[in-house]
Amino acid sequence: MRKQRDGIRQAPATIHHARILSAEETARCLDTVQMEKLEQSFRSWADSPKRSDIKLSRKRIVLVFLLIRHAGAKLSEVLHLNPSEDIDYKKHIVRLCKGGDESGRPCRQVEISEQLSSEVQKTLADPELKRAFDGLFWVDPGHVRRKFYERAECIGIPRELGTPEAIRRSRAVELLQSNMPLPVVQKILGHSTPNLAASYVEFSDEEMQKVARYFIDKESRRKTSARNAFFGKIDMIQRGDIQSTIEILSVGGYRISSVITNHSLVQLGLRRGSLVIAEVKAPSVTLYKSEEEPRSTAENIFRGTVSRITVGKLTTEVVVRISPETELCSIITEESKKRLAIKEDDTLWVGFNAFAVVLHVD
């Protein structure tokens, strides 16, 4: 455990700016995997109702969550947003103000990903949503908090870690752990000037925007990486004499096994809790058509439904959806596809060997 001084958690050697939050605050935060699971929980919850009015109401709550989770906004700031004036959909910037706060502090501009900007714009442009609600973000804060508690508890997270404040703190830690400079995180969160080390250089507003954009774009690329990529954290490392077995717990709740050399383990600096992307090439993904789980040497086997088939002259691409958010792509020969009589909506097993899993770190 890292040493603490004056109640402040000391950062590791590669991160010199984590003193924006105290040890007590960082202990009450979600990690990136938990944040992603919470986001998926909100999205599934919003898509589940059959009644359009309930679905629209839930979409508003999801937007509130997304702006707190990705923009580090306060709940009061989101609820006072004027989406036509405070969001620049071309530059992907959200203007956040204190709303009813009497502090008199100026508004701040926060970079968001192009993907999030597009999603917000598309949702708010829904004519049914506009007709149903006069103020798109005029939501009772008590109602919002109750829904945040419910979503957190639904996936096994204590309600006190599902509050808007905890999610905002978690975003701060997430940015710091990605090595975003402290002054930039400070600007995003609207914090007063922290006690910086003498070696820190000052950033102009333009420089901060450029740095923030770099990290937001990198984060967005990670989330939209190639198919057959699982983002998660290392849950277990079993080291052998030449190679090591790594078990990753993915955002979607899947466990992925990978075998890498001990040299790679050291070179990548991997340890329990490290965030990684586990990637598998499509030709390494094997398909099984059976009711029961197949007997196989593949360490990673999942059950799913064929969502798409693309037929070529020699090979066929088969995409299998194993959860609402996760698809696996397999490249097989056209002959194999015919032999197994694979068609859309079929239930299949997909598997791949631990040796086929390549690990990436940012």
Average pLDDT for 58-63: 91
What pLDDT, on the 0 to 100 scale, is given for residue 69? 93
In the block, which residue shows the tokens 């002259």?
313
* DSSP letters spanning 34-83: HHHHHHHHHHHHHH--SSHHHHHHHHHHHHHHHHHHHH---HHHHHT--H
Residue 224 banded pLDDT, cuts 50, 70, 90: very low
User: How much of the chain exceeds pLDDT 90, in percent?
Assistant: 41
Distance from first CA to last CA of the chain, Å, rounded? 24
Residue 17 banded pLDDT, cuts 50, 70, 90: very low
CATH number for the region 229-278 comes to 2.40.50.100
Average pLDDT for 123-142: 75
Does the pLDDT of residue 33 top 70, yes or no?
A: yes
HSE, CB side, 13 Å, CA atoms: give it for residue 7.
Answer: 5
User: How much of the chain exceeds pLDDT 70, in percent?
Assistant: 77
Is the CB of residue 19 less than 8 Å from the CB of residue 171? no
Does the pLDDT of residue 177 top 90, yes or no?
A: no
**Rounded to whole angstroms, how far apart are CA atoms 330 and 282?**
4
What pLDDT, on the 0 to 100 scale, is given for residue 200? 33
Domains 229-278 and 282-352 share a fold: yes
Does the pLDDT of residue 347 top 90, yes or no?
A: yes
- Beta bridge partners of residue 57, listed in sequence order: none
What pLDDT, on the 0 to 100 scale, is given for residue 197? 32
The 10s digit of each residue's pLDDT in 146-175 is 999 999 999 999 999 999 999 999 988 888
HSE, CB side, 13 Å, CA atoms: give it for residue 199.
Answer: 3
What pLDDT, on the 0 to 100 scale, is given for residue 342? 92
- Kindly compute the dihedral angle of the four CA atoms of residues 210, 201, 98, 94, in this order, to the nearest 10 degrees: 0
CATH architecture for residues 282-352: Beta Barrel (2.40)
Does the pLDDT of residue 119 top 80, yes or no?
A: yes
**With 0-12 CB in 10 A as exposed, 13-18 as middle and 19+ as buried, what is 152?**
buried
The 10s digit of each residue's pLDDT in 228-263 is 888 788 989 999 999 999 999 886 778 999 999 999
Name which residue leads in pLDDT, 164 or 130. 164
Q: Helical H runs in 190-333?
A: 205-223, 262-268
Summary mean pLDDT of the chain:
80
Does the pLDDT of residue 22 top 90, yes or no?
A: no
Of the candidate ranges 39-53, 55-69, 72-86, 94-108, the one whose mean pLDDT is the lowest = 94-108
Is the CB of residue 17 less than 8 Å from the CB of residue 181? yes
Q: Which fold has domain 4-223?
A: hpI Integrase; Chain A (1.10.443)
Does the pLDDT of residue 208 top 80, yes or no?
A: no
Sequence ranges of the domains in the chain = 4-223, 229-278, 282-352
Of the candidate ranges 108-122, 164-178, 223-237, the one whose mean pLDDT is the lowest = 223-237
